[in-house]
Structure formats: structure tokens, C-alpha cells
């Protein structure tokens, strides 16, 4: 038997010999028990060393393609089922073209990355990278970060808790999924309209949920058979209203009466522009029935992927037992960097600076909506957060506005996708976290060209 191998410079020669013989066996070119050339003979034939051939044969033996008989040589092994190698059919995969970034990004959940304190962050990051041990972080999160978060919450949100009640996660979906698995025997209620990722997570888990209506005071007190409620009191998503103190008290009374659990998602409470900060449900409840969700995605940047939950003390031990075999999914270096960033008060200074910037952006957005769009467009939810809801005049629909804006390089968000019942078709969401002041004005002015029949009077 002669083997024909055409060598290239891209791979080691032993690997090319191995692949040539392996492919011949899989294609059925070599019948079972066929004897392969002796090592020395094949080495001379291919002009390689005997060691190179030996390496190829050893690999084939280890994978079961050939077998050896002492003093007789190497033979092709029997393959019980016929197998023909096929190319990986990448042509069957969907052809997802890269979406061109919009000229004006008014999408929800974006932040002003130009204002991120890169120099301060990177200086701490480099220090931590050189100092830290290579071991994984504990699944609960690094103690130094958990302590820093507990201290920050006491100062900024008036929420008193031990660091042991704080657990660090890599974003909302992971922590919400973990809580839903932990509370597997509880029936779930979610705001209507509400956060689509919460609903998507429950669907992935196969967990049914019930819709709890929202009114002008926030999430209503459930009259359904549920004992776990997910809500966004500080800035209802997406409509933006701040839950009244009476409604907060009513919800806490509901939880106490029904031995219920409330998951309070405080996703952007740092950015409140009128009045004093609203006390958290968790603070009013003294962490008895409320699980508090916090995140650094809105205050720092979404790609950092660090969030946290604060549990009532009586849930801590069973929650730790439930998760004891897990590992942290959050970078240890990032955790230590963030902890020092908080402890040196760089975080609180950054939040204060961003609150001023976003307040300015918000006012600029509202002024330009009034200037270019006029009184036929009604703004909702402007008291806090990083987005507003814009109600459209009767002659405009969500589909029309979203489509026309996209054609003009303006990215907006739908509201209807956040409803499951009685979907509105005359509202859009406008986020103002990412665009600059200049982009806000130019973007709204460009919107007015096709939204307003009399736009010529407003130029």
C-alpha cells in the first residue's frame, strides 16, 4: 500500500499524515484489517522522520482508527457503522447582516459612554489585575464589593442591610432567573405593561405568570391568586410613573397579609429630577417581604454586567444552600475595581455628575419636542430615568413612526411590545441616555419633518 500525502506549511507533518489516513478510513478507501505501511517504509516514502510517522500512528491508535499487533505492524480497525464525513453546512445558517448604527440613537437603556471615567477606572483596574490571586470569586460575589454595595445603599437609598444579604450577579436576567428557580413554588405576577426580559425569562423557565395592571399610581394591588410580584416602583417600566407612597404601603400590606414576596427592580432610581428621592419598598418594609434588585448598567455602562440583589435576612441561609455549587459569573477583577471605585467615592461623584448631565438632556429633549413637534404630542414619565413615553396624535401610529424614523437613521423603541393585553398603537419610547445635546435637537427636528404636516412652520 502506498499513501499519497501532499504536505503544506500550515500544519505539522504528523498531523497531516494522521488526517490523510483518517479521511481514507472514513471514506471507505481502506478496508478493515488492511495492513498499513511499516513506519520506516512510510517515512522513506514521504521523506519524513520515523518519529513523525510514529506520532501519526499513535494518534490514530488512540482514537481507534487503527490497531497494532506486536512485531506485525498496524492495521485498519473495523468501523461498525458506515460513516461519511460531511462538510459543516454553514450555508444553512441565517445570513444576519451587521446592522448599521443609527445616526440618532434614541433607544431605551443606553447611557452616555463619553462621560464614563475611563482613566480612573483603568488605573484601578490595572492595579487590581496585578494584585489579585487567580482563584475564582465566591458565587455570592467578592466580600469587598458586597460591603461596598451595602454601605452605598445605606447612604444613597436609606436601605440598611448587612453585606451578607447582598449577592452579586451578571445582570438582570441571571439574578431574576435564579430567584425564580429559588421561589419555584410561588405563583408570579408581573406588571402590565412590563419589562419584556422578565417575561422572556419566565417563558424560558416554563413558568406561568399573571398580569397585574398599572394605573397612574403605579402597580395595582393584586387581586389575583399570586404570592410573588415583580414591580418597578421608582420609575414604572415603560410608562414612567413614580409609585405613590399610599400604593407602596398598600402593596406591603398585601405582601404581609398573603405571606407574599415583592421583587423591587430599582433599575434607574439614581436619576430622579424633581423632588427628593423616593424611599424604596425594601426600606419601608425593613427587608421583610421585599427583595431588592439593583444594577450598575445605567449608572456606569451596560457592558460591565454587574448587578446585585438584597435579600431579607430569613432568606439568606436557604438561598446560599440553594446556590452552593455555583460559581460566580462576574469578573473578579471587575468586582474589586468597582468596590474601590465605590469606596473612594468616585462612584457617587460620577452618579452626581451624570444626574446633572441627564437632567440637562431631559430638559433639552422636552424643549425640542415642544418646539418641533408641538402640542399634539404628549409626554409621559419624564420625572425620572433615561426615557420618556411620547403619545402620538390620532393620525399617527406606532408602526408608521418607527418605520419612517428607521428610514431616516433614527432608532426608537416600541411601546406595544411591552403590553400583552390591549396593545396601544399610538405611543413610542424615546431614550435620551446616549445622544448628545446636539444630536437630541437634530434628531427631534428630523422627526418633525415627517411627523408634522405643518413642519415648515416649525423650522
Mean pLDDT, rounded, for 187-198 = 95
The C-alpha cell 521523506 sits at 47
Helix (H), strand (E), coil (C) string for 168-188:
EECCHHHHHHHHHHHCCCCCE
Which residue ranges make up each domain of the chain? 13-76, 104-109+351-458, 116-348
H/E run at residue 67: strand 66-69
- Which residues are within 8 A (CB) of 3 and not within 5 positions of it... i.e. 6 or more apart? 17, 20, 21, 24, 36, 37, 42, 45, 46
Cell of 136: 475564582
Return the CATH architecture of domain 116-348: 3-Layer(aba) Sandwich (3.40)
User: What integer is the mean pLDDT of 68-85?
Assistant: 78
* pTM for the structure as a whole: 0.82
Sign of the Cα torsion 125, 127, 128, 129 reads: positive
User: Is pLDDT at 454 greater than 50 in this prediction?
Assistant: no
CATH 1.20.1250.20 correct for 13-76: no
pLDDT band for position 81 (cuts 50, 70, 90): low
Query: Coil, strand or helix: which one is 213?
Result: strand
Longest dimension (CA), the chain: 98
Q: How many residues are listed for the chain in this entry?
A: 459
Rg of the chain over CA atoms, in angstroms? 30
Taking Cα atoms as reference points, which of 365, 454, 442, 450 lies closest to residue 404?
Answer: 450
Angstrom distances, CA of residue 216 to CA of 211, 233, 426: 16, 12, 18
pLDDT tens column, 346-393 = 999 999 999 999 999 999 999 999 999 988 899 988 887 899 999 999
**What is the domain class of 104-109+351-458 according to CATH?**
alpha beta
Are 150 and 168 spatial neighbours (Cβ–Cβ below 8 Å)? no
- Of 25-34, 263-272, 296-305, the least confident: 25-34
Mean local confidence (pLDDT), 183-199: 95
Amino acid at each position: 500500500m502506498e499513501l499519497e500525502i501532499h504536505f503544506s506549511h500550515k500544519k505539522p507533518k504528523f498531523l497531516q499524515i494522521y488526517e490523510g489516513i483518517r479521511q481514507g478510513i472514513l471514506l471507505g478507501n481502506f478496508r478493515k484489517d488492511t495492513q498499513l505501511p511499516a513506519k520506516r517504509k512510510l517515512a522513506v516514502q514521504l521523506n519524513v522522520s520515523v518519529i513523525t510517522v510514529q506520532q501519526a500512528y499513535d494518534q490514530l491508535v488512540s482514537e481507534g482508527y487503527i490497531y497494532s499487533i506486536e512485531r506485525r505492524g498496524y492495521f485498519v480497525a473495523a468501523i461498525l457503522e458506515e460513516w461519511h464525513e460531511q462538510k459543516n453546512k454553514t450555508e444553512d445558517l441565517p445570513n444576519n447582516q451587521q446592522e448599521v448604527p443609527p445616526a440618532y440613537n434614541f433607544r431605551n437603556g443606553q447611557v452616555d459612554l463619553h462621560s464614563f471615567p475611563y482613566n480612573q477606572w483603568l488605573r484601578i483596574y490595572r492595579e487590581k489585575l496585578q494584585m489579585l490571586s487567580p482563584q475564582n470569586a465566591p458565587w455570592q460575589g467578592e466580600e469587598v464589593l458586597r460591603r461596598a454595595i451595602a454601605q452605598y445603599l445605606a447612604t444613597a437609598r436609606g436601605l440598611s442591610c448587612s453585606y451578607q444579604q447582598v449577592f452579586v450577579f451578571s445582570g438582570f436576567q441571571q439574578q431574576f432567573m435564579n430567584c425564580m428557580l429559588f421561589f419555584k413554588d410561588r405563583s408570579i405576577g408581573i406588571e402590565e405593561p412590563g419589562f419584556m426580559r422578565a417575561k422572556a425569562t419566565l417563558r424560558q423557565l416554563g413558568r406561568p405568570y399573571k398580569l397585574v395592571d398599572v394605573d397612574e399610581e403605579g402597580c395595582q394591588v393584586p387581586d389575583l391568586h399570586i404570592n410573588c410580584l415583580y414591580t418597578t416602583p421608582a420609575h414604572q417600566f415603560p410608562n414612567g410613573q413614580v409609585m405613590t407612597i399610599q400604593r407602596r404601603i398598600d402593596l406591603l400590606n398585601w405582601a404581609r397579609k398573603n405571606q407574599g414576596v415583592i421583587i423591587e427592580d430599582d433599575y434607574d432610581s439614581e436619576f430622579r429630577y424633581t423632588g427628593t428621592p423616593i424611599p424604596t419598598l425594601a426600606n419601608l418594609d425593613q427587608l421583610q417581604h421585599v427583595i431588592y434588585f439593583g444594577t450598575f448598567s445605567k449608572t456606569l455602562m451596560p457592558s460591565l454586567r454587574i448587578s446585585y440583589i438584597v435579600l431579607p435576612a430569613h432568606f439568606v441561609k436557604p438561598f446560599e444552600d440553594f446556590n452552593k455549587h455555583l460559581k460566580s459569573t462576574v469578573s473578579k477583577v471587575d468586582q474589586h475595581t468597582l468596590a474601590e471605585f465605590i469606596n473612594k467615592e468616585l462612584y457617587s461623584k460620577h452618579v452626581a455628575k451624570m444626574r446633572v448631565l441627564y437632567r440637562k438632556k431631559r430638559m433639552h429633549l422636552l424643549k425640542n419636542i415642544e418646539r418641533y413637534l408641538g402640542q399634539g404630542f404628549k409626554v409621559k414619565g419624564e420625572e425620572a430615568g433615561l426615557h420618556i413615553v411620547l403619545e402620538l396624535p390620532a393620525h399617527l401610529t406606532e408602526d408608521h413612526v418607527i418605520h419612517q424614523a428607521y428610514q431616516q437613521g433614527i432608532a426608537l423603541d416600541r411601546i406595544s411590545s411591552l403590553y400583552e393585553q390591549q396593545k396601544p398603537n399610538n405611543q413610542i419610547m424615546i431614550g435620551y441616555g446616549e445622544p448628545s445635546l446636539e444630536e437630541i435637537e437634530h434628531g427631534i427636528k428630523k422627526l418633525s419633518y415627517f411627523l408634522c404636516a405643518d413642519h415648515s412652520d416649525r423650522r
